[in-house]
Amino acid sequence: MKKTIMACLLVIALTMALAACGGSPSGGGATTTPAAQTTAAQQQEENPIKGVDDLTGRTIGVQLGTTGDIYAEDIEDATVERYKTGAEAVLSLRQGKIDAVIIDDQPARVYASLNDDIMVLDEPFTVEEYAICLAKENSELTAQFNTAIAEIRANGTLTDILNHYIGQEEGSAPYKSPDGTAYPNGTLVMATNAEFPPYEYFEGGEIVGIDPSFAKAICDRLGYDLRIDHMDFDSIITAVQTGRADFGAAGMTVTEDRLVNIDFTDTYITASQVVIVRK
């Protein structure tokens, strides 16, 4: 049932994007002529991308502001097309406008499971660690989050969340606040981009997934209620810096560049960037 719901959501998102795309995608990427599309498709057929080294000189799609966006800049002679969502990048790949998409592993596998004309390369592009970001002046809250993260790891709650959304274990259930949970400390606002299944996505008008469940478990433990605000991925750090949000969680990788502007909690999951190509 969980996989069916997620599939329906993504099919709707991709269908809407397809219906809207007369030119460039809304998040970026230049308009591509039919001739250019044919050339891209022919290039993949004649000189297929089989590994990371084959990305040299190709046109790469990424979600704006992600680590995929950062890493793609280092690919020799590559042209980088940026999109607001991963779904838009995948759609451009399927249309032959770009040669590949660099994106996080779990969302990539969701997209590939829904579209039999694309596949995820076996070779990971890079391995990385996800964490929650907070403002530098909010060190006390960061310490509280780290304590809660350690406890949630130790008591198996994090494993249960991952098993539900990634492991798809039979009989698993979404995280539920323990009976009697109180919120004497007020409300914390989480900034996210709910276009990133299974980490965060919309279901019945509600934002669900690994990060919302994990954040709820943390807030329950610390006595805070949780409000989740959906925004563009590249707006999350600014929202945290300016106080519009108390923290950001969106499959966010710890990088040296980001650490200049924000702090991160201890990491909670190891992930990877992968490459999607047409078959």
pLDDT at 39: 58
* Cis peptide leading into residue 198 (ω within 30°): yes
pLDDT at 40 over 70: no
Query: In the numeric block, which tokens belong to residue 88?
Result: 């838009």
Structure tokens at 215: 């954040």
Q: What is the domain class of 132-252 according to CATH? A: alpha beta
| Per-residue pLDDT, 106 | 93
Residue among 139, 151, 141 nearest 221 (CA) = 151
What's residue 24's pLDDT? 35
**Cβ proximity of 68 and 238 under 8 Å:** no
The fold of 2-126 is D-Maltodextrin-Binding Protein; domain 2 (3.40.190)
Residue spans of the domains in the chain: they are 2-126, 132-252
User: What does pTM read for this prediction?
Assistant: 0.79
Q: How many CA atoms lie within 13 A of 63 on its CB side?
A: 27
Mean pLDDT of 138-163: 96
Res. 16: pLDDT tops 70: no
| Mean pLDDT in residue range 193-217 | 96
C-alpha span between 190 and 250 (Å, rounded): 9
22 neighbors 83 (Cβ within 8 angstroms): no
Would the CA dihedral through 144, 146, 150, 155 be positive or negative? positive
Q: Write down the pLDDT at residue 151.
A: 97
Residue 267 per-residue DSSP state: -
Per-residue pLDDT reduced to its tens digit, 151-196: 999 999 999 999 999 976 676 788 999 999 999 999 999 999 999 9
Span 230-278, pLDDT tens digits = 999 999 999 999 999 999 999 999 999 999 999 999 999 999 999 999 9
* Higher-confidence position of 18 and 137: 137
- The pLDDT assigned to 47 comes to 81
Residue type at 72 in one-letter notation: A
